[in-house]
Structure 1
Amino acid sequence: MSASETVTAGRGPAAPGPPGRGRPWAVQVRDVHITYRVPRDPRANTLRYRLTRPARRRSELVREIKALRGISMDVAHGTVLGVVGANGAGKSTLMRAVAGILPPSGGEIEVHGRISTLLALGVGFNGNLSGRENVVLGGLAAGLNRRQIAERYEQIAAWADLGDFIDMPMKTYSSGMYGRLAFAVSTHMEPDVLLIDEALSAGDAKFKRKSYDKIRELVDQARTIFLVSHAVGTIRDLCDDCVWLHRGRLMMRGDPQQVTAAYIRFQEVGEDAVVLEDV
């Protein structure tokens, strides 16, 4: 996204931000709805199906899935926002909407600053190209020029710690190697807003420790971070704000300790060690 980009479909009311924050907004989400339309029968899009079945109304062929239902929030610069919720709550849909990948069906999203995404391992990478070449592609996609990418390359390669694999095709990488390079590229492009969706759960203990340290470094630089995770312990440790989504609706926002506690109670599970790492 550009320095200030808006994704709009209709307009909704602006939502108040969390109390006590005087900083300018990094992301503003106003009454955002996202609806997926999927065939009721997987064969419905084929010509044979349409020719051999009687004509039907579109509503009979397609069903609507409301992934987000009127989400509104303002997120200040320098906030580390945790996003929790069960599978299907709309967390990844929200991240893709903020990233500008998925346009809203209704409402408006405005992002102020350069945005970087880590939405899934290897998304945006070309498996036939080397890690080095994919670093360049990632930098160009983030809006950097080749000189800026070259200035950051050594830091990225050192953080990813891939050795000679940096010059090998990424289709030869393990999932852990993918994750290290993806995280390195996303976090070393000096983003104003960083979106992380479940990426920290894919690595080993060393990767998680390095990732936490890098996130804290970005926090010290007043970067804005959205962190989606099922690991409640991670949310409580890294975030200073938290939202809980359920079936596309914003159920609660506030202190990460309080929000995650309410979420756990709602899920009717206890706060044991397993739950804190994978609710």
Structure 2
Amino acid sequence: MSDTVIRVENLSKKYILGHQKQESYTTLRDSIASSAKSLLNPFQRKSQISDSNSEEFWALNNVSFEIEQGDRVGIIGGNGAGKSTLLKILSRIVEPTQGKIRMAGRVASLLEVGTGFHPELTGRENIFLNGAILGMDRVEITRKFDEIVAFAEVERFLDTPVKRYSSGMYVRLAFAVAAHLEPEILIVDEVLAVGDAQFQKKCLGKMEDVSKEGKTIIFVSHQMSTIEQLCHRVIWLNKGQIVHQGDASQILSKYLTQSSSDRPIVCLEQPIERKEILFTKITLLNNLNEASTELDVKSPFTINLNYEVVEAITEVEISIRIKTSEGTSVFTTVYSDASDKQKMDKTPGLYQASVQIPELFLMPGSYTISFAAFQFKRVFRLISRYDDMIRFRVCETGTKIAKYNDHRNIGVILVELPWQEEKIYN
């Protein structure tokens, strides 16, 4: 008997891009309304597709792979690679245009904050609702109930409608439900990034435990160190196609060296969906205001972000993250507006945001630059994100640590701290 629990054959997903906004999710209500419209006007869809301003976009194109029972598989790739589309198809949220999927067992998905729960129901009610959706009876759910609540740490708010939960509480409970209600296949997107570091570690431990029980894990993350820790297999997507798949350490090594640009100026491809904020260019400048990816450890350097605000947006935040070449985050800086701390209201137009990194701050070595725009009102909402877009090197030019050959054992930042000494015995 085969141990294959997921078999994907020649999977493709096509979208029609045009004047009408593409829905992220197609609900039953939307499908019924669309069918009714097509019955009333059988020429409507044909005319929309043939519009001269419309074009086809293949989010996935001829993707095939197999996943065995108990596998922990990471899905990686840049923006527009097709990761989210693949997860939505595997979660039965959207249907493929072509191809076949065979899945054996119950599937629990945690794709983004705000999905899977009914906002008007309490945490308690949503636990039972999600269990019922997974096909479990009340006895099974009750057996797992206390364990779910303890893991999520939301006992005090169990009988509060989840619409009043913070994003952290929301994710904690959503993950606890998805991981504890005994699915054969658990699909988790980058949503865990909303939680704190302790909770993320707790979730990774739980996913490892679930895998040891013979369950299958599919995990998407932009943190390569997290993928390497959890997954033993990786599927690398680029522009809707599989670039590589196989052993995690080998694929991640290739990805980290090939996904970033060695050019100091990168013009960015625009996403399928037209968001409120569109990043257009990122530039890395040395202390002489020259575009360069070779930087002096003793001199400051600047990162410029060009973006367009397409439509007015409130309380937006923009961040830049520096990571090591191995994928470990060194620091993240958030664009702050003095009048309103970190939250900004933006009107349509073209903008350039800049941040200067001080001298003698990063240890000599190789790094990458990632950036994002998001809102953080009641829940976290990602608007746009680009990972590892520029790869650069901080060069040793004569510091106090120059005499040490291996900087990796020293750390990733240089700090000059005041020392004090006194003689306490003759």
TM-score by length of 1: 0.83
Q: Does the 8 Å CA contact 1:40/1:63 hold for their aligned counterparts? A: no
- Superposed, 1:56-205 pairs within 5 Å as 58-205=50-197
Q: Which residue of the partner structure matches residue 38 of structure 1?
A: 17
Structure 2's unaligned 5+ residue stretches are: 22-46, 262-324, 330-367, 371-386, 389-426
- C-alpha separation in 1, matches of 2:234 and 2:82: 15
- Describe the SS at the equivalent of 2:222: coil
Superposed displacement of residue 61, structure 1: 4.3
1:208 to 186, 200, 208: 200
What are the Cα deviations for residues 153-184 of structure 1, in whole angstroms up to 9, with x where unaligned?
Answer: 11111111112111111111110000000000
> What is the CA distance between 1:265 and its match in structure 2?
1.4
Query: Shift of residue 59 of structure 1?
Result: 4.0
Structure 1 letter corresponding to 2:103: V
Task: Choose which of 317, 326, 331 in structure 2 pairs with 1:271.
Answer: 326
User: Identity of paired residues, percent?
Assistant: 36
Q: Say which structure is richer in helix.
A: 1
Q: 1: CA distance between counterparts of 2:257 and 2:55?
A: 32
Alpha-carbon distance in structure 1 between the residues aligned to 2:232 and 2:2: 14
3-state SS, counterpart of residue 254 of structure 1: strand
Instruction: Work out which structure has the larger RCO, using CA pairs closer than 8 Å and 6 or more positions apart in sequence.
Output: 1
Residues 230 and 64 of structure 1: is their aligned pair in 2 closer, same or farther, counting only changes over 3 Å?
same
Calculate the aligned-residue CA RMSD, in Å. 2.2
Q: Which has the higher strand share?
A: 2
Post-superposition offset of 1:62 = 2.6
* Whole-Å separation in 1 of the counterparts to 2:160 and 2:180: 21
CA distance in 2, matches of 1:218, 1:113: 14
**Contact in 1 for aligned 2:224/2:327 (Cα 8 Å):** no
How many pairs align? 247
Once residues 152 and 235 of structure 2 are traced to their aligned partners in structure 1, the CA distance between those partners, rounded to angstroms, is 30
Distance verdict in 2 for CA 1:98–1:56, change over 3 Å: closer
Cα deviation, 1:15-35, whole Å, max 9, x if unaligned, reads xxxxxxx96101000000001
Partner of 1:139: helix, strand, or coil? Answer: helix
Q: Do the aligned partners of 2:225 and 2:327 also contact (CA within 8 Å) in 1?
A: no
Moved more, 22-31 or 197-206: 22-31
- TM-superposed CA distance for 1:39, in Å, is 2.2
Instruction: Give 5+ residue unaligned stretches, structure 1.
Output: 1-21, 43-54
Distance 2:327 2:165 in 1: 34
C-alpha distance in 2 between matches for 1:59 and 1:182: 42
Please say if 1:233 is aligned against 2:288: no
Indicate yes or no: 2:6 matched with 1:27.
Answer: yes
Amino acid at match of 2:7: Q
